[in-house]
Structure formats: structure tokens, C-alpha cells
Structure 1
Amino acid sequence: MKKFFKILGLAILLFLAYFGFTTYPKLDLISGFSAKSIASGHFIDNRSIEMIEKGDNDINMIDLATNKIDETSKSASASVYGLKERKAIYREGLGATLINDDFDESKLYEVPKRTKLNNNLVFPYGNKEVEKVVFENIDYTKLDKAVANAFDKKGEKKKRTRALLVIYKDKIIAEKYDTGFTKDSKILGWSMTKSITATYFGILQKQGKFDINKPAPIAEWQNDERKNITTNDLLHMNSGLEWEEDYEKISDATKMLFQAEDMSKSQVVKPAKFKPNTHWNYSSGTTNLLSGILRNQFKTHQEYLDFWYSALIDKIGMNSMVVETDMAGNYVGSSYGWATARDWSKFGLLYLHKGNWNGEQIFDESWAKYVATPTNDSNGVYGGQFWLNAGGKYPDAPKDLYSANGFQGQNVFIIPSLDIVIVRMGLKEDGQFDFNGMLKGILGSVK
């Protein structure tokens, strides 16, 4: 019996050592992701904690967290086996923010001023109900089949599509939602937010207020080789700066999103590994650095907050959208934009029409071409904070397709040659979900 207890004790010690070495350092990130996800999903989209846990947080390791919601303080907290508790607070206008112990919750904060479209126009240029239009060159039987095929059958969790929207010539020709989601559901776009962030540089450039080809205005870089990095290099993810984007472990990206107070600084401190415009490397830190550059274009923080909505989001009627901020008040331009599928589609339509929104040119036509042109060393898969099909990633879709893409398969596909925008929101991404097959089916319905 003593021998048994010795072996048992040794096994427990080995397990604790293994746990301490492999899992304990991740607990801060696990509970941080979970608390932030619960707070955002509940207070932005009114989802129940059970729905979020079974959907958004149904991820390996993240499902270890135990979560709580405090309706009074509008916050959520999470811990793993009672360890490493993290808290996220919700503030109207700013969304949910993951905070640390040093964060002063009583401190006054500014919120963006919002305006809502108030006209008598139908979608996409107004808020009247969608017009039913039948196009003779659309095979609706094929289209409906392709759309239905993107969703799981009852009880399955293979495709996990939440929303699918197809727009042809500015009219919705197909729209379907998973159980629990509707046209009014706000869904996190994750890295689709990067494409939103980039657009502000196109807007400022049109206004004559910013030149992307000049060296990036980062004071910390002026005394070393990084002074040669341009904003154009940053927009192309081609700065040459060190960065690790890996969500399966503790990496630069996960430390930024779940630990950093000021996310705009996470990429700033990284050294140069390559010369600018020679080595493409996808980096959420770069996009948050771009958000920081945007912040510095304005005299006050209030102007920065307002600009994101007045210059783009509310201007094109994406009134459901909320872009969340970090503890320092920066918009998390890499990852935290929420909107309905219909509002995400408006962003795609803006680019489909080369920056023209119902007669108003929001950015120059050349900007749409810029973001859809392959950046050096990306093998035709990436442009200016947009993903491209120039290299034939989707063999059954036109080469001119480009898209805003996000974690777990959030997509706004823009196909200029066919006058089509497709929005797919879900929980499975490429490799797990057949995007090429979905595109082939949908596009095959257009004669």
C-alpha cells in the first residue's frame, strides 16, 4: 500500500510539474480571452453566458474557464480552476475592455459621438426594409442550395456558419442565419477590422492630410534603421519588424490582445529583422500601431474617437458597428470590430464601388486598387490590409476577388468583375470550412 501511495504521489507531482510548465503560464491568456469574449458577446449582442460558452468560447483550452457576469457593473470575469482571474468591463460606445489590477474603473472616459442615417432610402443606402428583386440571370434554386450547404445540419458542428449574405448589384439575393442569430445580430469580425483601420488612411489621403509613402511618424524609430519604414510598408505588413502571430501559444499577438495596456505600442518596440518591403509577415501588432498613428493625427482624443464613425462607419450607415478600445483608449484596429452581417456588407459595397457611397466619394478610386494590389513577397495573397485571390487561393473564384478576413472564418468577399459582395460569419476557417466550394456554388448561380 505504501508503494502505491508513493507511486500516486509521484504521479501527482509529475502532473503538477507538467501542468505548471505547459499550462499555468497560459492561464492568464485563457481567462483573459474568456472574460473579454463573455463581456463583449453579452453586452454588445445580448447573448447569454451559455450561448457564448457553447459557441464563441468552445475552443480548446478556452473551455477550461469558469465565467461570471455582473449585470450591475456591466462586467464579466473568468478564471481557470480558480486561478488567474481576469475581468473585462463594458462601457457604452467603447465596447468591452479587458483590464488589469491597475486599471481605474472610476476614471471618466470619452465616448465617440454617433449619428444614424435618417432617410427614406432602402438598403444599402438607408434603413428601410430590403427590397425584393428578382434577377433573370440568377438561378435561385442553385443559389439557395449553395447557401444552405454552407450551414450545419441540425445537431452538427462541422461548418458552423452563423450568417451568409449575398449581394448582387446592390440587392440582397440570399440571406441565411444559424439558430440564435438574425439580421440584427452583431458579430465580431476579428481581423476584418484591419481592413476598416486601413481605410482611414485612404480617407485621410483623399483629404490631403496624410502621405502613406513617407516614413512612419514613430519617434522611437528615428535613431536607427527603422526610420526608413513607411506607413505604406506597415499597411502592406512588410515593415521587416520582428513579430510572432500565433494563437496556439503565448506569442506577441496573444500577449498584446490579452495583457497589453496600450496595444499601439506592442509593435513599436520590436527590432528590425529585415529591410522594409522585402519580407511579408502578418502582424496584428502592426495594425494596432496604425491605429496609434491615426490617434496622433488629431489634437484631442475625442476627435480621434469621433473620426472613426463620422468619416466612415456612420457615414455609410454601419450603425450597428462598435469598435472596441484597449485600456489606453486606442481602438483595437486589429481585431475588435462588431457589426451585423448587413452592415459588414456595406463596407464591402463601398469597396465594390471604389469608394463611392451613393454619390459621395469617401476615398479615391485609386485606393481600392491599392488595397487589392499584391504586396511584395506575399505570393499574391495580401494587399493593403486585405486578402487577395490574385495568386489563385480560391481556384473557382475570379482572380480579382479580394476580401476582409477574420479569425474563425469571418469574411467580406468583394468581387468587382461580378458586381457581388458575399459576407460569411462563422466559427470555422480555411482548412476546416470549404470556402472555395462555397464561392463556387454561389457564383455558379450567376448566369
Structure 2
Amino acid sequence: MKKFFKVIGFALLLAVFYIGFTTYPKLDLISGFSAKSIASGHFIDHRSQEMIEKGDNDIKLIDLAKNKINEAGKFATASVYGLKERKAIYREGLGATLIDDNFDVNKPYDTPKRNKTVNDLAFPYGDMEQKDTVFANVDYAKLNSAVANAFDAKGIVDKRTRSLLVIYKDKIIAEKYDTGFDKNSKILGWSMTKSITATLFGILAKERKYNVNKRAPIAEWKNDDRKVITTSDLLHMKSGLAWEENYSTICDATKMLFQAENMGRVQLEKPVAFKPNTHWNYSSGTTNLLSYILRNQFKTHQEYLDFWYSALIDKIGMKSMVVETDMAGNFVGSSYSWATTRDWSKFGLLYLHQGNWNGEQLFDAGWAEYVAAPTKGSKGDYGAHFWLNAGGRYPDAPKDLYSANGFQGQKVFILPSHDLVIVRMGLTEDGKFDVNGMLKGILGSFKK
């Protein structure tokens, strides 16, 4: 019997050791994700801690974190069983930033200058509500049914759609929000931020200040195989640089988002794994490298911060948007931008109109074609920091559909052939949520 208990005890010891060995390194990421999520959701969108924990943080392992909000200090902390406590601070204009022990919270910092002037134009070009518009070719009963079907029935938590907005010919024809959300709710776009970052290069290109087809201006690459990488290679995710993007484990992406001080340098320091322009590999590190490159186009940090808003975000009236920064003060162009559903739709409308915003051309029409052209090796699924339907990913949607996509099913769909923009924000990815079915239902409401 003693031998039996010794064996059981030894087995339990091994189990504890194994769990500790395999899980402990993840604790830093778990508490980091949780602290950042709590701080952003609470201070940007004024959600309660309970709401964030039941929604945004309701992810395997992340739900192990114990969180605290400090209202006076404007920060949030999280730890797992009292271990690996992480802290995220909120600063007006910069959003929430996950910090480490070396970060100086008293150091002065720049914030972007915003232009939130109110005008008397109707949405999408102004702040006033639209006049009711009825289109004879829209079956509104079918449309409303398709929109309602994208949301969970009472008592069921499955589809987890937070908002759905349909815009036809610049007019809102359907809009619905889940409980706790409305047209003023700011929602994290996750990787939809990548499309925002890419667009800034299109704006610089129109101004003849940047050529994406030239070699990327990275001094550290001048004397090795990386010197031939172009900015266009980076925009198409085919730089050939080593990168692992697997959020189920500790990888390059998770270490960057939850541990790096300067996220833009993480991909910069990676070696070449493939010959540039031959291999497509989705990389959030690449987008933050692009943000780093953007920073170097300006003499001062203030000019860099202002450019994102003055050239694009505030220019098209996305007044609710907040793009968050890393510890180095650079925008996390891969992942961290917040805006209302209506403001996200304005970004889609900008592309629907090929860069023209109420008469002003922000980027050349050819840029919209550039981002929507399939990248070799992506099977028609990816362009230049936009996702595509050229490969038939959504069989019941037109092939010319392209979109800004984010983690957990954030989507800004642009359908040029149908004069449509559709925005869906939620907590479920493709596969768990029937995106094709949603698109089919909405498109089916248009009479032929």
C-alpha cells in the first residue's frame, strides 16, 4: 500500500511539474493580455470589468487572470494565481499600453493633435443623422431578417455578434447592436488596424513622398540578404522574413504584443527564412515594422502621431477612433485601434469610393486596386494588408469583395460591384460564425 501511495505521489508530483513547466511561461502572456484588455475596454469604451471579463476576456486560459482596475491612477493589473502580475496604463490620446518594470510612468510623452470639428452634413460625411431613404430594389423584410439572424437568440451565446451595419449607396439601410452596445460604443478592431496602417502608405504615395516599390528604408538590412526587401513585399506579407503567428502558443506574435518595448523592431531583427517575394506568410510583426518605417518618415514624434489622424482618421470623420501605442510610443499598427461601428464603416466607404472622400482624393484610385489584387501564394485570400474573396472564400459573395479583418470576427467588407459596405463586429471567428451565410442573406435581400 505504501508503494502504491508513493507511486501516486510521484505521479502527482510529475503532473504538477509538467503543468508548471508548460503553463508558467504562458502566465506572462495571460496576465498581459488580460491587463491590457481590461484597461482598454474600461478607459476607452467605459465598460465595466465584469462586462470585459465575460466578453473580451472569455478566452481559454485568459479567464484564469484576476484583474483589478485603479480608477484614480487610470491603470489595470492582472495576475494568475498571484503570479506574473502585469500592468496596463491608460493615457488620454494614446489609449492603454502594457508596460514592464522598466517603464518610466513619469516620463513626458506626446499625444496626437485631433480635429473633431462638428459639421452639419449628414452621415457619413458629417455628424447629422441621415434622412430616411427607401430603395425600391431592397426587400427590407429579408434584410432585417438576415441581420437579426447574425445575432444570438435570447439565452443563447453562440454567434456573439456585437454590431452589424449595412450601407448601400452611402445610406445606412440596416443597423443592429447587441445588448450593452450602441452606435456610440467603441470596439477594438484588432487586425483591421493593419489596413489602417497600409492606407497611410497609399496617402504618402499620392503625395509623392514614398514609393512602396523601392527597397524598405531599413539601415540594418543594407549589408545582408534583407536589403532587397521592398515596402510592397512587406505590405503583401511576402518579405520572406522569419515569423510565427500562432496565438495558441508562445510565438513571435504573442511575445511582441505582450512583452516587447518597441514592437516595430521585433520583425526588423528577424532573419530571412525565404527568398523575398516568393512566400506568403501572415505577420503582425511586419505591420508594426511598417509603423516603425512610417515613424522614420517624420522629423519629430509629434509629426508622426499627428499624421495618422490628420491625413486619414480625422480627415474622414472617424472621430471616435483611438490607435494605441507601445512602450516606445509608436502606434501598434497591427492590432490596437478602437472605433464605433459607424466610424469603421467610413473606412470601408473610403475604399468603396477608391480614395475619394466627399470630393477630396486621399489616395489614388489605383491604390484601391493595388490592395485588392491577390498576393501570389495566398490562394486569392490576401492582397496588400486586406483580405480578399478572389479565391472564393465566401462562395455566395462576389469575387470583388475585399475586407479589413480582425481577430474574433471583426470585418469591414467592401463590395464595389454592389455599392455596399458591411461591418460586423463580434467575438467569433469564421467557422464558428457563418460569415458566408450572413453575406448571402444580406445580398439576397436585393431584388434582381
**TM-score, length basis structure 1:** 0.99
Measured in 1, the distance between the counterparts of 2:57 and 2:266 equals 25
Q: Which amino acid in structure 1 is aligned with residue 316 of structure 2?
A: I
- Alignment check: 8 A CA contact 1:77 1:86 kept: yes
Measured in 1, the distance between the counterparts of 2:442 and 2:117 equals 31
Match of 1:285 in 2: 285
Q: Residues 101-128 of structure 1: CA distance to partner in whole angstroms, max 9, x if unpaired?
A: 0000011110000001321101000001
Measured in 2, the distance between the counterparts of 1:309 and 1:3 equals 70
Match of 2:392 in 1: 392
Q: Residues 231-281 of structure 1: CA distance to partner in whole angstroms, max 9, x if unpaired?
A: 000000010110000000000000000000000001001111111111000
Q: How does 1:296-445 map to 2 (within 5 A)?
A: 296-445=296-445
Q: Which amino acid in structure 1 is aligned with residue 109 of structure 2?
A: Y
Match of 1:276 in 2: 276
Match of 1:62 in 2: 62
Match of 1:50 in 2: 50
Calculate the aligned-residue CA RMSD, in Å.
1.0
SS of structure 2 residue aligned to 1:267: helix
Q: Residues 168-190 of structure 1: CA distance to partner in whole angstroms, max 9, x if unpaired?
A: 00000000000100000000000
Match of 1:191 in 2: 191
Measured in 1, the distance between the counterparts of 2:157 and 2:4 equals 43
Q: Which amino acid in structure 1 is aligned with residue 324 of structure 2?
A: E
Q: How does 1:32-51 map to 2 (within 5 A)?
A: 32-51=32-51
Measured in 1, the distance between the counterparts of 2:118 and 2:308 equals 19
Number of equivalent positions: 447
Match of 1:205 in 2: 205
SS of structure 1 residue aligned to 2:267: coil
Q: Which runs of 5+ in 1 are unaligned?
A: none
Measured in 2, the distance between the counterparts of 1:156 and 1:5 equals 45
Q: Which amino acid in structure 2 is aligned with residue 9 of structure 1?
A: G
Measured in 2, the distance between the counterparts of 1:437 and 1:331 equals 35
Measured in 2, the distance between the counterparts of 1:431 and 1:412 equals 18
Measured in 1, the distance between the counterparts of 2:158 and 2:25 equals 31
Q: Which amino acid in structure 2 is aligned with residue 309 of structure 1?
A: Y
Q: How does 1:16-27 map to 2 (within 5 A)?
A: 16-27=16-27
Measured in 2, the distance between the counterparts of 1:131 and 1:34 equals 42
Match of 1:153 in 2: 153
- Alignment check: 8 A CA contact 1:117 1:127 kept: no
Measured in 1, the distance between the counterparts of 2:51 and 2:132 equals 32
1:125 counterpart = 2:125: yes
Q: Residues 164-209 of structure 1: CA distance to partner in whole angstroms, max 9, x if unpaired?
A: 0000000000000001000000000000000000000000000010
Measured in 1, the distance between the counterparts of 2:377 and 2:187 equals 32
CA gap of 1:117–1:420, structure 2 versus 1, over 3 A, is farther
1:181 counterpart = 2:175: no
Measured in 1, the distance between the counterparts of 2:39 and 2:8 equals 41
The CA deviation at 1:14 is: 1.9
The CA deviation at 1:133 is: 1.1
Deviates more, 1:316-325 or 1:129-138: 129-138
Moved over 3 A (4+): 1-9
Q: Residues 355-388 of structure 1: CA distance to partner in whole angstroms, max 9, x if unpaired?
A: 0000000000000000000011111110010000
Match of 1:138 in 2: 138
Match of 1:257 in 2: 257
Q: Which amino acid in structure 1 is aligned with residue 294 of structure 2?
A: L
The CA deviation at 1:5 is: 5.5
Q: Which amino acid in structure 2 is aligned with residue 365 of structure 1?
A: A
The CA deviation at 1:11 is: 4.1
**TM-score, length basis structure 2:** 0.98
Measured in 2, the distance between the counterparts of 1:97 and 1:386 equals 26
Q: Which amino acid in structure 1 is aligned with residue 196 of structure 2?
A: I
SS of structure 1 residue aligned to 2:37: helix
The CA deviation at 1:12 is: 3.5
Measured in 2, the distance between the counterparts of 1:120 and 1:436 equals 37
Q: Residues 93-150 of structure 1: CA distance to partner in whole angstroms, max 9, x if unpaired?
A: 0000000000000111100000013211010000012322111100000000000000
Q: Residues 276-307 of structure 1: CA distance to partner in whole angstroms, max 9, x if unpaired?
A: 11100000000000000000000000000000
The CA deviation at 1:6 is: 3.5
